Amino acid sequence: MARLSVNINKIATLRNARGGNIPDVLKAAVDIESFGAQGITVHPRPDERHIRYSDVRALKPLIRTEFNIEGNPIESFRELVMEVVPAQVTLVPDAHDAITSNAGWNCVANREFLTRMCSFFHSKGIRVSIFIDPDPVQAVAARECGADRVELYTAAYAEGFSASPEKAIGPYLATARAARDAGLGLNAGHDLNLENLRYFIRTIPWTDEVSIGHALISDALYLGLEQTVRRYLEEARG
């Protein structure tokens, strides 16, 4: 069974649209854990348009499962992660004005930088995952940088799933095998949902963790947050 880490950025987006503290991001995180999720993910960006740096600091003492902070390791992000010391940091190469993450790292071209980042976060005992596109070469290169895990950027899988699940997952299966052979743990995230998650986990059952936010929070508008978390947990069991 893959662990489910719920990305709560969209809850913060809703709060920030009106000001004040409704919905309460901290309470939502605690509730999501109580509904069975095995982790909480946040992706703070410099403009703080959803999760704020102050949210990350406030969440740390409340999280009882696994806390994952993802983002581009610019200086302010690095300082925040080293202050909070989550269980995992996921390195994502998104630009400061990106609407959402839209590509993985080129671990070959950025090997020197990523090697420094892995060493930097390891100094605090933080597990490092590198966000990559479905390419076996990138999985091997991530291991050479010192990563503990890779997170597969699953947008292309989700986009192609309805037309041909087998074709859509092919590059991911090859990359997942390369990651496993290299001794890396395996995470996955981006556009995974109730329609495509089970097939992904059944095909790649050694997936350690899936990080899901937008689809899960959207489904919660119809199903309710508790029922939605439980539904995703069922799908993550494969």
Residues identified as active-site: 43, 70, 190
Quote the CA–CA distance of 98 and 94 in Å, as a whole number.
6
154 within 8 A of 147, measured Cβ to Cβ: no
Give me the amino acid identity at 85: V
Task: Tell me 86's DSSP state.
Answer: -
81 within 8 A of 126, measured Cβ to Cβ: yes
Cβ atoms within 10 Å of 24's Cβ, excluding its own? 13
56 within 8 A of 9, measured Cβ to Cβ: no
Give the phi and the psi of residue 91 in degrees, each rounded to 5.
-90, 120
**CA–centroid distance for 130 within its chain:** 10
H-helix or E-strand containing 68?
A: strand 66-71
Query: Rounded to 10 degrees, what is the CA torsion of 130, 49, 213, 143?
Result: 0
Cα–Cα distance list, 234 to 1, 64, 229 (Å): 9, 21, 9
Give me the amino acid identity at 170: G
